[in-house]
Structure 1
């Protein structure tokens, strides 16, 4: 059985550019790397080691806390993603991270804009995870506006610091308008 899991062929996922994007903040990269590998330590995984842990989502309390629910199906995360998509003008009905990444990579944007969009999505994933942990450890749920504001400031600052010198005028004005 273990050998089958090791040998099992999985379809290739091209998420390296998304996770290891130089515009992403390091802590965002790590959490998104865990997400892409399906290793985020949600209640679903905690129940395996400690059956006394509640499997319910800490942010909404309506469904079991799986990685997919926490990041895309929870009412809290849906609202965060709606605000982020509107801010970055991302048109994707995606119910999962890989679909969202795919729609950004297939969009008619410049490489700089795609990398910036990926950094924002990575920031949103990190912000949702941070809100969940704040709820778990500090017993308070940050407001959606608070999470989005913090993420916007961090992403803008990071992109400004690592922005290549050869960015076109159109991309510079696009970035300044964010």
Structure 2
């Protein structure tokens, strides 16, 4: 599935003439792994998001990230929050990338991080089980502040 992301390298492989550099950092060829994992812009967002998570995820490509996200690291609720957070990160990076293409502007990574935290909070509030331990609720508030 990860190989189907319509990044610039994939568009070039199917014959379209497009500039291959990543619009987020301008340093490397835009591949799925680069855009969503390795780009310095994404790394800044991830570092800020992981600051309160007390996790040190180690992955270099989307396949490794998927494997890491499906390994339980804590209770079920916390795993779901972490998965939601990474899904929201990928979605917001893709939106930012497309905004950069079509509107020529790029938000500061702190704005993207705040949007991700808001999106996660709204999503979790909408689906939070009734029986969540207080320590997990406190943890959720802490990581989203």
TM range (shorter): 0.7 to 0.9
Of 85-94 and 108-117, more deviation after overlay is shown by 85-94
- Segments of structure 1 that go 5 or more residues without pairing to the other structure are 1-35
1:1-178 matched pairs, under 5 angstroms:
36-106=1-71, 108-178=73-143
Larger Rg: 1
Give the ranges of 4+ consecutive aligned residues of structure 1 lying more than 4 Å apart after TM superposition. none
Aligned residues: 143
Query: What SS is found at the alignment partner of 1:92?
Result: coil
Q: Deviations over 1:81-138 (max 9, x none)?
A: 1112213222122212333344454454110000000100111111111111111000
TM-score with structure 1 setting the length: 0.73
Cα RMSD between the aligned structures? Answer: 1.8
- Normalising by structure 2, report the TM-score: 0.88
Larger relative contact order, structure 1 or 2 (CA cutoff 8 Å, min sep 6):
1
Indicate if the aligned counterparts of 1:43 and 1:55 stay in contact, CA closer than 8 A.
yes
Q: Which consecutive unaligned segments of at least 5 residues does structure 2 have?
A: none
